Amino acid sequence: MRTSLNIPEEIVDSFDETWQEQGLESRSRAGREAIQEYIERHTSLRQIGGEVIATISFDYEHTLVIGELHTVQHEYSDVIATTHHMHHGEWCLETIFCSGPADQIRTLVYKLRDFDAVGRVNVTFLQPAANDSVEEFRNQNHEPE
């Protein structure tokens, strides 16, 4: 099947350079692999359930989205434990540390990915053992020695 995508030129240039350096046979092959990786990552995000601890890291262009990001973070303050923020010119890198229901954290990830001014959104889940609650897990792993 043939398809068409609207991708900024600098991303296509970087993509072409990357797949050629890796010795792949074509842009189509590299595109299929990239799409497959996206599907696998999304599937694991969709399948996790229960109470979890997570980090969500993302980059964004500060002036274009900061107000909307703050609104979303306030909407999810019941699962957001803390954030860490770093500036690099007009761009920012932010990490959100969360704990709570996986479906609520998943929805937060989807909202962040929906902003045009947000570049990449990466999430890492840590699921406590079946017999531990998130609160017990947090207490066991963060008590001073």
The CATH number covering residue 108 comes to 3.30.70.1150
- φ/ψ of 67, rounded to 5, equals -60, -45
4 belongs to a structural domain: no
Looking at the structure, tell me whether residues 73 and 108 fall in a common domain: yes
Q: Which amino acid type is present at position 84?
A: H
Looking at the structure, tell me whether residues 77 and 104 fall in a common domain: yes
Q: What is the pLDDT of residue 101?
A: 93
Looking at the structure, tell me whether residues 33 and 53 fall in a common domain: no
Burial of 14: CB neighbours in 10 Å, binned 0-12, 13-18, 19+: exposed
Mean pLDDT per 10-residue segment, the chain (145 residues): 89 94 92 83 78 93 90 96 94 95 94 94 76 55 46
What is the rounded distance in angstroms from the CA atom of residue 82 to the CA atom of residue 97? 5
Q: What is the pLDDT of residue 26?
A: 92
122 belongs to a structural domain: yes
